[in-house]
Amino acid sequence: MRPITTSVFELFKIGPGPSSSHTIGPMLAAREFVDQAGQLPPAVLDQVRAVEVRLFGSLAATGRGHGTVRAVLAGLLGHRPESCPPDILDSMAGFEAGTVRLGGRDVPISEATVVFDLFDLPDRHPNTIRFSLKGESGDILLEREAYSVGGGFIEWKDDVPAERPAPAHPFSTMAELLDVIDSTGLSLPEVMLDNEAALTGLTRQEIGAKLEHVMRVMEDSVERGLEAEGPLPGPLGLHRKAHALFERYRQDPQMQDRPILALCACAFAAAEENASGHTIVTAPTAGASGVLPAVLYVTKNLRPTAGVFRKVLREALLASAVVGMLAKHNASVSGAEVGCQGEVGVASAMAAAFLAQVYGHPAWVIENAAETALEHHLGLTCDPVQGYVQIPCIERNAMGAVKAFAAYQIAAAEVPGHHMVGLDQAMKAMAETGRDMCAKYRETAQGGLAAIVRC
């Protein structure tokens, strides 16, 4: 099996919510399509009269609630997820018409540029998006098809992936990573640092600085969410709860369940920011972007051990990244492919690994913590009510954070050799469960709560 060559900073993407596959991915694809179109000969660009963006599968079924139209238009206008304004989707709410500059011609775009195709079923991936440049008579001058495969990652039809540098310590499964650790004597974070340096050419100092930035954005999403109040955007009328949960946490310092309440408040906070279309970090996706930030924020600021060294937090972030990379490599992190087990389930496993690393446990405890968290999300459907990443998504982030804490506690107390299920086995089960799952439970808003709840 080919080794993992994903960079930590490809997994932890910064961009607007509410969905990495429905907003970050399509925005990136739209921007890349404009860049590709700009390379056409001037004689071809002079013939362009219209741009059409056609959404298929899950993108068509839930794209309106997930902000896909605004994200695509923002990408066509030149924005990139990692550098766009934090409120880019808010600013696009009143968008009526604009232009894309192609060569020397301004090509008009509007919401009508984006077409929802609910009848043609995609062949390769449920998140399929097709871009077209059209001439005067509707003839197609350029057409490209892209797939938003989860976590903000994009693949283009017919493109051969560029050859990547080899990692310093190749592995494709958790078992292989444990072998690397045993044979080299390196810790899990050290293996990850060596691989990241080999893949990106960054120094350890540069990697550390980028990890700090990722954590800062995570913390910002929590802090903004803890302060905000009022209803979330969209027709559901769902009110934010993070602020009220956090006030309850602060008002009763003797409460026995304060750690659980703190995790819930912080997970709600980041998830509500994501639901508002504001800037978050995919961990591994936007829909699950409240889980790991909640665990990070509580560990750093609200636990009795608050104030742990930043180096320890950076190492823990690398441990969490291993889990996300393994899931993407061997299963999926896309709700449209495997349901929410691949989003909140993997996020919970990442957060459990984070905690095990923070508190200094060896790699086998990190694996067991991640496996326990993932195992108890297997079969979880992706069923957003009316296609909005709000019900049940926000509460699921809180439950994922709580399960991560429980999974870590279980793993930390285990006797070596007594854990019966490996992380590789849990991920294989997740992949097979996702393949067997009825399509209506995979981010189509046609099954589960989405089919029952009418707001």
Is the domain of 245 the same as that of 124?
no
For 7, 75, 196, the CA distances from 168, given in Å and listed in that order, are: 13, 35, 8
Q: What is the pLDDT of residues 183-217, one digit of tens each?
A: 999 999 999 999 999 999 999 999 999 999 999 99
Residue at token pair 């665990």: 295
Specify burial of residue 42 (Cβ count, 10 A radius: 0-12, 13-18, 19+): exposed
- 197's CB contacts (< 8 A; 6+ apart) are 168, 203, 204, 207
Sign of the dihedral defined by the CA atoms of residues 214, 285, 427, 385, in that order: positive
With residue 109 as reference, give the H or E element that holds it.
Answer: strand 105-110
Is the domain of 289 the same as that of 362?
yes
Between residues 223 and 105, the one the model is more confident about = 223
Comparing 24-33, 89-98, 301-310, 440-449, which segment has the lowest mean pLDDT? 301-310
What confidence score (pLDDT) does residue 93 get? 80
pLDDT band for position 305 (50/70/90)? low
Residue at token pair 């659980």: 260
* Mean pLDDT of the 175-186 span: 98
What confidence score (pLDDT) does residue 308 get? 61
Single-letter code of the amino acid located at 30: A
Between residues 322 and 19, the one the model is more confident about = 322
Which of 156, 182, 197 terminates a domain? The answer is 156
* Mean pLDDT of the 411-416 span: 95
Is the domain of 276 the same as that of 325?
yes
* Mean pLDDT of the 330-358 span: 97
What is the distance between the alpha carbons of residues 258 and 412, in angstroms, rounded to a whole number? 21
* Mean pLDDT of the 7-29 span: 94
pLDDT at 369 over 90: yes
Rounded to the nearest 10°, the torsion over CA 168, 174, 180, 186 is: 90
What confidence score (pLDDT) does residue 252 get? 78
pLDDT at 103 over 80: no
Q: What is the pLDDT of residues 379-389, one digit of tens each?
A: 999 999 999 99
Q: What is the pLDDT of residues 113-171, one digit of tens each?
A: 999 998 888 888 989 999 999 998 999 999 999 999 888 899 999 888 888 999 999 99
Is the domain of 232 the same as that of 310?
yes
pLDDT band for position 316 (50/70/90)? very high
* Mean pLDDT of the 404-433 span: 97
Q: How many CB atoms lie within 10 A of CB 233?
A: 16
Single-letter code of the amino acid located at 314: R
Task: Please state the domain count of the chain.
Answer: 2
Closest CA to 147 of 253, 236, 28, 66: 28
Is residue 298 in a domain? yes
Is residue 10 in a domain? no
Is residue 402 in a domain? yes
Is residue 65 in a domain? yes
Is the domain of 26 the same as that of 148?
yes
Sign of the dihedral defined by the CA atoms of residues 268, 273, 274, 275, in that order: positive
% residues pLDDT > 90 (the chain): 82
pLDDT at 100 over 60: yes
What confidence score (pLDDT) does residue 290 get? 98
- What CATH number is attached to the domain comprising 62? 3.30.1330.90
Which of 105, 128, 156 terminates a domain? The answer is 156
What confidence score (pLDDT) does residue 118 get? 86
What is the distance between the alpha carbons of residues 315 and 302, in angstroms, rounded to a whole number? 19
Sign of the dihedral defined by the CA atoms of residues 63, 241, 344, 176, in that order: positive
Comparing 105-109, 256-260, 374-378, which segment has the lowest mean pLDDT? 256-260
What is the distance between the alpha carbons of residues 291 and 320, in angstroms, rounded to a whole number? 11
What confidence score (pLDDT) does residue 302 get? 83
What's the N-to-C CA distance of the chain in angstroms?
A: 47
Token reading at 415? 């006797």
pLDDT band for position 315 (50/70/90)? very high
Q: What is the pLDDT of residues 271-281, one digit of tens each?
A: 999 999 999 99
Is the domain of 310 the same as that of 341?
yes
CB 246, CB 270: distance < 8 Å: no
* Mean pLDDT of the 402-416 span: 97
DSSP letter, residue 83: T
Is residue 264 in a domain? yes
Rounded to the nearest angstrom, the gap between the alpha carbon of residue 283 and the centroid of all alpha carbons in its chain is 5
Is the domain of 36 the same as that of 178?
no
Can you give the residue range of the structural domain that contains 34?
19-156
Is residue 165 in a domain? no
Is residue 166 in a domain? no
Is the domain of 35 the same as that of 65?
yes
CB 345, CB 398: distance < 8 Å: no
Percentages (nearest 5) of helix, strand, coil residues in the chain: 50, 10, 35
Is the domain of 235 the same as that of 96?
no
Is the domain of 184 the same as that of 72?
no
Q: Are strands 127-134 and 114-116 parallel, antiparallel or unpaired?
A: unpaired
Which of 156, 184, 207 terminates a domain? The answer is 156
Q: What is the pLDDT of residues 52-87, one digit of tens each?
A: 999 999 999 888 888 899 999 999 999 999 999 888
Is residue 81 in a domain? yes
CB 73, CB 91: distance < 8 Å: no
CB 68, CB 59: distance < 8 Å: yes
